[in-house]
Each structure stands twice: as structure tokens, then as C-alpha cells.
Amino acid sequence: MSAPVSIPSASVPIQFGTDGWRGVIAADFTCDRLAQAAKAAAQVLQQTYGPDTQSRTILVGYDRRFFSEVFAQITAAAIAAQGLEPLLAATYAPTPALSWAAHQRGALGALVITASHNPAYYSGLKIKGAFGGSVPPEITQQVEAAIDPQFQLAPPATTQPFPTFDPWEDYCQALATKVDIAAIRAAIAAGRLQVFADVMHGAAAGGLARILGTEIHELHGDRDPLFGGGAPEPLPRYLGTLLSQLRQWGATAPQGSVAIGLVFDGDGDRIAAVNGRGEFLSPQILIPLLIEHLVTRQQLTGEVIKTISGSDLIPQVAQLHQLPVYETPIGYKYIADRMLARAAQQQPVLLGGEESGGIGYGTHVPERDALLSALYLLEACTQSGQDLSTLYDQLVTQTGLRSVYDRIDLPLASLEARARLLAQLQTDPPQVVAGQPVRSIQAIDGYKFCLGDGYWLLIRFSGTEPLLRLYCEAPTPAQLEATLAWAKEWALTTG
């Protein structure tokens, strides 16, 4: 039996989180509230980016969730009601394709109907700026302030459809220029590279084959708004079929052949992977691999941007290549802000990545893009002739740092318990964690207790509910388990 769904009230003000507004369909995410949010977003996009772009166009895209096409029509109608010009996607597409199109076409921005990796009963709205990425927090705050809860769309005077465009064609062509497509295609054709992709019934469906120009082993490419009873999130518990298929392949793998499994979330902006033995590879492993590939094989350089929850292997690999590292709070919008600031200074960025799988690149728009990450990983396997795990083991040998990572969410009894924990962290934080002395504490987003190289605990609160997020990287699985258990016990006894 599935867990009960907490039904929010439609009277709660619309709030934008780390990347967009998300709500339960027919509860707080309704047609009227979407129209109100889209109207306000259109106004703010025009005010913010109109003077530079001289455009009146806002792109509208959508994923494959329930009612997404209808929600996109409502969004377009709200834009048109402001005297602006909506350009509606003719089909579903990954969110990064809309970000790319907004930048390429010189539009005011894009509004995308998606709830990303959330469960099936959610929908959502993401706001992308003219620069091709998520708008910063000050913009979403302006949108929240501009929302008129009394606004309702007037019935259309005609049934004339909005103009449409194909969000795939130019986007795929742009991504194909980033890697050696011919070499990847040749490796697939020769049987040296086996490509599996679990698109999780989401908006990345068909994308990889379209870019590569050849068939791959795609799983869950059909549209299923219920996502097979799970959620379109690239986590092992939702990937049983992919893990099983890679294990079967690994048991009979021909000599000289490498397999890779790629996983895309519901709107195609987050990635994970599976190796040829059917073992899950988290973004904490993929980001160091991508740094190594871009520097050694693509001959690129630039700053590496990571969130505070990113693996210590990321700065270790950056140090191997004498690359600067910049650390941000959790949320890709902070990475995008740093990318834009560096671009304004004409300073290169290699990549920016977060532990949840959102990775973007300085040679692209400042947006996380799972399909581009997938292409780079395929190119790394093709050019090296090696499995991702072999490449990872080489990095571990070079840096001397091997670690494991996990995150758990701990519900708290009340917001009062949250307040007590926060007060304790602010006034008297622990100096010993799971028997390990605390070397230093970082507080740019939550409280990160640094215990050693590749060993830390991050305690971070949800901003809207009594929920504690516990992140940990440790040298061994036993230390990881013990540290998270200590953190849970500390939270329950202190709160």
C-alpha cells in the first residue's frame, strides 16, 4: 500500500522552491492558480529581460505528466492575456531544451510545465530566463509578490491555436556538436559499446537515440503519468529493470565490449548511471569522472562549481588538474548564478554539479542538462575503451580517496522541534560526531561537520516543513551507517 498523500490547501500562497513551484494536481496546483502564477511570471520576465532582448516572446514547454498539455495551453493563454507572445512547444521535451531555445531565440524566457522528479500526483512550473537557465531567487520573489489571487482567465474569443515550435531539432543539433558523435556511433555499431537508458517514462524519451542517430536499449520510453507506481527520480529503488538488464549483460559480456546504463529524471535535467555489472553510480561518482574527461580528453579548463553536499572527490580531482573550485549552497540556481558571474568576468567554467544529478557546463547555457552529461559519459567510455567504474577506480588511485555517500530525510515531530534543533546548532553545535572530532564547521547552507578527507556530515532543514535532511560521505559503508545513525539519534533526542 502506498503512503498517504498530504493534501495541501489552495489557500496557501504560491511559493517557488529551489527550481520552480510544485503542487498536488487539483489541490494547490489548479488551473486558476497556474494562470495567476504564469501571468505574474510573464510580467516579471518582461520587466527583467525586455530591455536587453527587445523581445515579447515567452516559450512554453511541458513534460509527459497528467494534463501537462492542457496546463501548457493555460500558461500560454495567461501570457497572451498580458499582451505578450507565447510560443508553445509542439510536443513534450526536456526542460533543458526549453532553456536552450529561450537563449537561442532571444526570447524573454521560458515557462515549463513540469514537476521534475516528484511523484505522479504533482505538477509544477519552472521559470527560465533569457540567458537560458533558471531565474535567480530575487526574480522568483518578484513573481510571488506579483501574483494576483483574484485573476482569472477570460474565456477565449476564438479557438485559434497558439503558434508552436519543435523544441527538439535545434537542441539536438547543438548537443551533437559537443562530442565526437561519429566515434560513439561507430563504437555502438561495432559492438564495442552497449548503451542502455532508462528514461523513466519522462521527457527525455527518444532523445539519446535522436542525437546519436542510432538505436539504443531504451527502457520505459512509453508515456505513463503514474510512472509505474514510483517516481521519475534517478535512484536505485526505482531502477530494478535497468539494474537487472545490466547484470544479465555483464554475466555474458563479450570481451572488448563496454556497457553503460544512463538514467534520466522526469524532465531530463538530472542524471545517474549504472555500470556494466549492474551497479548504481551516483552523481557523486559521475561529476569527478566528467571533470577528468573534459580536461584530459576534451582539453577544456575552467572553474569547478560544486554544492556544499558534493563529494570531496570533486575538489581532489580538480586539484589534480590545478582547477579552481567554488562551493555554493544546495540548489542549481546558485551554480547558475556563479556561471553567469564568471561569464560576465570572461572567466571560464568547466562544469557545475550538484549531488542530486544536476550538472551544467561552461560551454553550454547555464542549465543542468542530463542528455549532454550522457553524451560526455558515452564519449569517455568510447575514447578510453573502459567501463565507468574502471575510470572511477583510476581516479581513486590517483587521489587516494575512496568514499561512500548517502542521504536520508528525517521527519520531525513539529516545527517547534525544528526550532530547538536549529537553536542548538547555532549556539552549541556538536564537537564530536559518531566518535570523530569535528575539524571544522561550514554553515553556508545548513551545518556541515567536516571530520576528515572524504568524511563529513551535513545537517540541513527543509524551509517549509518539519523535515531534517541528513547528508553524509564516509570512507567506508560502516562509518556511513554509523554516522547517519548518530545524526538521527542526536536529532530525535535534542528536538
What Rg value do the Cα atoms of the chain yield, rounded?
A: 22
Q: What percent of the chain has pLDDT over 90?
A: 88
Residues 50 and 46: their CA atoms lie apart, in Å, by 5
pLDDT value at residue 1: 36
Residues 129 and 396: their CA atoms lie apart, in Å, by 38
pLDDT at 255 over 90: no
Residues 472 and 436: their CA atoms lie apart, in Å, by 13
pLDDT band of residue 311 (cuts 50, 70, 90) is: very high
Q: What is the mean pLDDT of residues 217-244?
A: 96
Type and span of the H or E element at 169: helix 169-176
pLDDT at 467 over 50: yes
| Residues 6 or more apart whose Cβ sits within 8 Å of residue 236 | 243, 280
Q: What is the mean pLDDT of residues 171-177?
A: 97
Could you tell me the three cell numbers for 323? 582547477
Q: Domain spans of the chain? A: 21-166, 171-399, 404-494
Could you tell me the three cell numbers for 257? 565490449
- Tell me the backbone φ, ψ of residue 440, rounded to 5 degrees: -160, 165
The model's pTM:
0.94
pLDDT value at residue 200: 98
pLDDT at 158 over 90: no
Contact 282, 403 (CB under 8 A): no
Contact 384, 393 (CB under 8 A): no
Residues 228 and 178: their CA atoms lie apart, in Å, by 33
Residues 442 and 448: their CA atoms lie apart, in Å, by 5
**Of the given ranges (263-272, 282-291, 378-387, 460-469), which has the lowest mean pLDDT?**
460-469
pLDDT at 2 over 70: no
Q: What is the mean pLDDT of residues 85-104?
A: 98
Contact 6, 22 (CB under 8 A): no
pLDDT value at residue 154: 81
Could you tell me the three cell numbers for 356? 542530486
Q: Which CATH superfamily is domain 404-494 in?
A: Alpha-D-phosphohexomutase, C-terminal domain (3.30.310.50)
The average confidence (pLDDT) of the chain is: 94
pLDDT value at residue 160: 63
Q: What is the mean pLDDT of residues 286-295?
A: 98
Contact 93, 205 (CB under 8 A): no
Select the more confidently predicted residue: 8 or 155. 155
pLDDT band of residue 413 (cuts 50, 70, 90) is: confident
pLDDT band of residue 123 (cuts 50, 70, 90) is: very high
Alpha-helical runs (H) found in 273-369: 283-296, 313-320, 332-344
pLDDT band of residue 5 (cuts 50, 70, 90) is: low
Q: Cell numbers 494576483 correspond to what residue?
A: 148
pLDDT value at residue 157: 54
Q: For 171-399, CATH number?
A: 3.40.120.10
Could you tell me the three cell numbers for 467? 523535515
Query: Are the folds of 171-399 and 404-494 the same?
Result: no
Topology, domain 21-166: Alpha-D-Glucose-1,6-Bisphosphate; Chain A, domain 3 (3.40.120)
